[in-house]
Amino acid sequence: MTSFQVHAIGRVESPLRDPESAPRQADEGAPAAWLSFEPGVLDGLRDLHHGDEILVLTWLDRARRDVLRVHPRGDPARPLEGVFSTRSPHRPNPIGLHQVEILAIEGLRIRVRHLEAVDGTPILDLKPVLGGDVERR
Amino acid sequence: MTSFQVHAIGRVESPLRDPESAPRQADEGAPAAWLSFEPGVLDGLRDLHHGDEILVLTWLDRARRDVLRVHPRGDPARPLEGVFSTRSPHRPNPIGLHQVEILAIEGLRIRVRHLEAVDGTPILDLKPVLGGDVERR
């Protein structure tokens, strides 16, 4: 397969330390977290604002990449399912996708609500939320 | 910066050939396309169905990675904006995010409605759509 290099543009700073005990979805008790960025990407952050809803793309570096079928939500009572119809972190390219609201911005650090990624998770990208009533830019 | 390797799990097959003339958003006239997958990921696709709304993550291999500010929608009349508040393909990690409906499935090929990615674009991942009334898995 053809491969490409992605670079961590920052890291998650979160009270969540353990992937096993982390909430599976943001609305299941995920805490606020800081996104801490590399100085080199500051110019890309300049038009983000308090209150914006954004998508955070992360690299789930603790995930397994050789798994193609999982028990949904890790529940062995549920039949195995292909990973591409689940949000399991275990998948060939373990890219996490998280929708969050910006609570505060302090230079290279952005505070967001309800992020289920654990402390230290590398950040790959930020995007405006898809569709809806947000102006497409 | 720390780096990771992503692998193309498939490619887009589309009548869109030229990034410059491609629609900027899926609802601006993007055609149906095929997603053609590597044989090795077949088990991960098995629970996708006709009618499902999915997110396709792509690698925008024609994008520039050294750009942190862009004119939104490529319009020089609009002031420069940080890339992370835009959906510009030009960004440090040019990962494309596309919400599409599955029209048909034929083994390793999945036909989807309204995809703005050009022919040959590498595919990195598929996920169920976020939130809403879809069961979280």
* CA–CA gap between residue A37 and residue B9 (Å, rounded): 29
pLDDT the model gives residue A72: 86
Residues of A whose CB is below 8 A from B47: 81-82, 84-85
pLDDT at residue A134, rounded to an integer: 38
Which value does ipTM take for this structure?
Answer: 0.91
- Tokens 């193309």 locate to B8
Of B45, B87, B99, Cβ closest to residue A84: B45
Q: How far apart are CA A44 and CA A22, in angstroms?
A: 29
User: Dihedrals φ, ψ of B72, to 5°?
Assistant: -50, 140
CA atoms within 13 A on the CB side of B107: 4
Q: Which residues of A touch B61 (CB under 8 A)?
A: 4
Residues on chain A touching B125 (C-beta within 8 angstroms): 84, 91-93, 95
| pTM attached to this predicted model | 0.92
* Residue B28: Cβ within 10 Å count: 11
Residue written as token pair 């009270």: A15
Element (H, E) at B130: none
Q: What is the pLDDT of residues A65-93, one digit of tens each?
A: 999 999 988 889 999 999 999 999 999 99
Look up residue A135 and give its two tokens.
Answer: 């102006």
Is residue A128 within 8 Å of A55, Cβ to Cβ? yes
- Alpha helices per DSSP H over B16-100: 42-45
Q: Which residue has the higher pLDDT, B130 or B56?
A: B56
Measured over all CA atoms, what is the biggest interatomic distance in chain B, rounded to whole angstroms?
48
CB contact under 8 A, A57 and B93: yes
CA distance A35 to chain B (A): 13
- Predicted local distance difference test score (pLDDT) of residue A136: 38
Q: What is the pLDDT of residue B137?
A: 37
Q: Is the pLDDT of residue B136 over 90?
A: no
CB B115 within 8 A of CB B22: no
- A114 within 8 A of A11, measured Cβ to Cβ: no
CB atoms within 10 A of CB A101: 15
Nearest to A5 among B5, B69, B127 (CB): B5
User: What is the pLDDT confidence band of residue B116, given thresholds at 50, 70 and 90?
Assistant: very high
CA gap B74, B22 in Å, rounded:
12
What's the pLDDT tens digit per position in B37-79?
999 999 999 999 999 999 999 999 999 999 999 998 888 999 9
